[in-house]
Structure 1
């Protein structure tokens, strides 16, 4: 296993690049132009030990996995997506596999065998209950799989595939099962690769599919029980939706660096661009948005260990919020870069590719709309819990305390619906009270409007009833407001529980939480934005983060 700092040092090298470097800008740009898979870069990550961090059953912690993938995404999103797909493909086994399945798969993953997740099919999109790939039980005790999976990441390269199959012809929520298919153990000719799909972004990724024809697998290929496929998928998505945030955080790091360097080095009418007030505010607000996304990701990833029973709420919040905020940030920074943001070669610095590649992040593992719908379907329960103000305070504070040891991942505690609601949001009034007691006054002053927003959200959510067959467009405003409440709670909890986050240029005068709350309230504070821009312009670490860095 490796660490995020060690991996980042490996990928950065000595700061010089040649076309022979697997992670050089030139090499990655050439692969993108030719729509070729980044095999050498993936091999570097394999040799560095990154696959071991995908094995959640054996001590790996989701926050560190996310931070590692962020380091890769900061260099190239295509590589991060291509390599990180193994985490998605293996997660169902960590959630519901037998001890033997977990042990065997962990060994294969550490040996750098790629794993894909065969969920979607041509013509059915996100409607998993419409899946046609079928698995039929045989007298031998094994299963025969027939059908296609399409738009699958790493479908051609994968040594193993976690496949969702219809095991009851009638379908329904209990009509599907999951199988771990080992291509090496299949009868010859029973697996056929489908052609690579050309995509707008991540052009070099292996987005394709596979067809199974008489693919016989042993009884021990079944993950969980027969008919457990959809529940296992839904629980697994609670992990993968949070992990996808790593891609957005890395993209934000890359974009902020490009924009910072451009603004600091460009002169306009004899004046440095970074000294123009409007430009500074654009930079400051973009930096704030990046920290908001990071705060949500930090609390969500740690909650996978400390509050796994609440992930049915936390995961869709993180998946809807983090990529959306990041894409908005990329759009804003693209406007700042102007024509350079459209260039695919220097001096563009790769921004056009970055912005194009990131668009897929909002779609992975359920689009923003799908995730907000998942949140809205639980909103009546969340409204009741919000009214009661009950929360697992210990679990919430352990999630927020970045120095607290994390308990091992406990898949048996995952739930399709959160009985306890969302502790971070429900405890927000108590968190505000603690912030008001300890100050500083500038931060405490923002908590009044924040609680007003929470009270209004509580009242309007109390009358909301999910509608069978679809949700009105106006309902999605409630989901967005709940996401902002979670983001506010994440910021205040992290501030309160981590003295280290109250130091340095970001912590001085509570700069970062003030900037974040101001943004969440939809207000403008030019002085705060200007101060955030100043910190960003002086930052010299590879990632702009709450977790440390030199300024």
Structure 2
């Protein structure tokens, strides 16, 4: 049930776009590991890179439950693109939420226009889930900051128009981090070779190398030392994006497996007539439905202004574990064909694996969930 007719029309448009623009080219593009900048441009011009942000700055002013369902539909067509949409939204979140009116007026319009693509510089070689261990430093030098360090596993690195970078401005642990807006082309900003990954080959991921990168103090987002709260708030939103994308990935695997089971005949009848296989498809559908329900529940809490951090972690955990299970079962349904590149399910399975790892591993999600449970006051 969608909140408005406008939302229903929007999702119908995204579904049509996925069927007609994304699905026909995804296999070839992923095999070539080509960064699909033109697809992001097309999505931006369609207003799909800015859905959850205010209209005053060029956003779509859509509730999160609508934005996430759009991400799911995009992932159903092309997972690398859906991950990119989620990442780009993540990069704009600090500016939209913690930026000054002057910063928002200067930069947010471009971020949300579709003409620009962002990258999110949080993780480092020794600081993935442990954000407080970030070592990249930002040293104040007059009216500037000078940033030095290395960011790892950065989507869009080398292709982005700007980088949202978290760096250490003091040695006060998690309270010593700050957030910066770093435009592409800034002197000292460099990139390593792309990572050679199991899947998501169109999602270019590299190390970002900051060698005395000088930015004006006006490029700091929020106050000095506010970087950790900014990062954690953004990660809640990012985890929902990945949960929605994982659900779309699983939905596509279910569709392929169901169609194959209805068409493939063994012993003179479709293999779908085998109850064991039919029940496997039913379990896959239940997993997809549970994943969708979990991210929508968290999104509706977010839209209502209610606490939702625990529910974001639950959604990320449930949806990504479901994606891994559903895509693995889809390979099983297709049998030997599922293990070949002639069908998409082997690619979907490879792509599903990383969803259990990025935006906080699923082990970290369990830590977050358990801490919420164990620190809540007892009900009386």
Q: TM-score, normalising length from structure 2?
A: 0.91
Q: Which residue, 325, 344, 351 being the options, matches 2:345?
A: 351
- What corresponds to 2:362 in structure 1? 368
Q: Distance in 2 between matches of 1:129 and 1:77?
A: 30
- Report deviation, 1:312: 2.3
SS at 1:51's partner residue?
A: coil
Q: Which residue, 8, 14, 26 being the options, matches 1:7?
A: 14
Conserved 8 A contact 1:164-1:179: yes
- Report deviation, 1:84: 2.8
- What corresponds to 1:334 in structure 2? 331
Q: Distance in 2 between matches of 1:292 and 1:84?
A: 21
Q: Distance in 1 between matches of 2:207 and 2:10?
A: 33
- Report deviation, 1:371: 0.9
Q: Distance in 2 between matches of 1:29 and 1:295?
A: 29
Q: Which residue, 106, 111, 115 being the options, matches 2:118?
A: 115
Conserved 8 A contact 1:54-1:86: no
Q: Distance in 2 between matches of 1:377 and 1:11?
A: 38
- Report deviation, 1:41: 2.6
Whether 1:61 and 2:60 are equivalent positions in the alignment is no
- Report deviation, 1:271: 1.7
Conserved 8 A contact 2:136-2:150: yes
Map 1:71-86 onto structure 2 (within 5 A).
Answer: 71-86=73-88
- What corresponds to 1:36 in structure 2? 34
- Report deviation, 1:54: 4.8
Conserved 8 A contact 1:28-1:38: no
- What corresponds to 2:136 in structure 1? 133
- What corresponds to 1:23 in structure 2? 22
- Report deviation, 1:153: 0.6
Give the CA RMSD over aligned residues. 1.9
SS at 1:151's partner residue?
A: strand
- Report deviation, 1:378: 2.3
Map 1:247-258 onto structure 2 (within 5 A).
Answer: 247-258=245-256
- Report deviation, 1:231: 1.6
199-208 or 58-67: bigger deviation:
58-67
Q: Distance in 2 between matches of 1:12 and 1:332?
A: 23
Deviations 1:35-61 (A, max 9, x none): 221233323222322122152685232
- What corresponds to 2:300 in structure 1? 302
Q: Distance in 1 between matches of 2:127 and 2:296?
A: 33
- Report deviation, 1:201: 0.8
62-71 or 36-45: bigger deviation:
36-45
Higher strand share: 2
- Tell me, which stretches of 5 or more residues in structure 2 are unaligned? 1-5
Q: Distance in 1 between matches of 2:311 and 2:79?
A: 24
SS at 1:23's partner residue?
A: helix
- What corresponds to 1:101 in structure 2? 103
SS at 1:274's partner residue?
A: helix
SS at 1:121's partner residue?
A: coil
- What corresponds to 2:198 in structure 1? 200
SS at 1:378's partner residue?
A: helix
- What corresponds to 1:284 in structure 2? 282
Map 1:400-439 onto structure 2 (within 5 A).
Answer: none
- Tell me, which stretches of 5 or more residues in structure 1 are unaligned? 14-21, 389-551
Conserved 8 A contact 2:154-2:207: yes
Q: TM-score, normalising length from structure 1?
A: 0.64
Larger Cα-atom Rg: 1
Q: Which residue, 369, 375, 378 being the options, matches 1:381?
A: 375
SS at 2:22's partner residue?
A: coil
Q: Which residue, 297, 314, 321 being the options, matches 1:317?
A: 314
Q: How many residues align?
A: 368
The runs of at least 4 aligned residues of structure 1 exceeding 3 Å deviation read none
SS at 1:124's partner residue?
A: coil
Deviations 1:359-409 (A, max 9, x none): 111112101000110111222233x34x33xxxxxxxxxxxxxxxxxxxxx
SS at 2:237's partner residue?
A: helix
SS at 2:158's partner residue?
A: coil
